[in-house]
Amino acid sequence: MNMRESAENYLETIYMLSRRAAGVRAIDIVNELEFTRPSVSVAMRNLRESGYIEVAQDGMITLTEEGLRVARTMYERHTLISRWLIALGVDEKTALEDACRMEHVISAESFEAIKKHICNDV
């Protein structure tokens, strides 16, 4: 399935929040992304209907296996690209913003080549 950038961002955010706390609720996503409750609610419904998340009766949001795969991919790309840009001398704020955009458009092949190159230089 070809995902939209916003869906990938939501999944990555859920993943990051779940690494910091035992449970993730929609309000946590609202606070993290500074989006409105209705926007997050619509996004969560779409992600649930697409099979990327599950929402328990108590409102706790968990990633499905496929949601977790996408989230980890985006997180790895964001982390590696931002660190690489910072190491190249790019201002941290700019590097983080650029990495956020780049992580969604770079092909798997190009990312793996960059990752291999960076890891060989370390």
User: Has residue 2 got a pLDDT over 70?
Assistant: no
For the whole model, what pTM was predicted?
0.88
| CATH code 3.10.110.10 for 74-121 | no
For range 14-34, the mean pLDDT: 95
What is d(CA 30, CA 38) in angstroms, rounded to the nearest whole number? 9
CA 33 from chain center: how many Å? 11
**Residue linked to tokens 């998340």:** 53
The whole-number pLDDT of residue 1 equals 39
User: Has residue 42 got a pLDDT over 80?
Assistant: yes
How many CB atoms within 10 Å of residue 119? Answer: 9
CA 41 from chain center: how many Å? 17
How is the chain split into domains, by residue range?
5-69, 74-121
Amino acid, res. 104: H
Tokens of 59: 């409102």
What CATH fold (topology level) applies to the domain 5-69? Arc Repressor Mutant, subunit A (1.10.10)
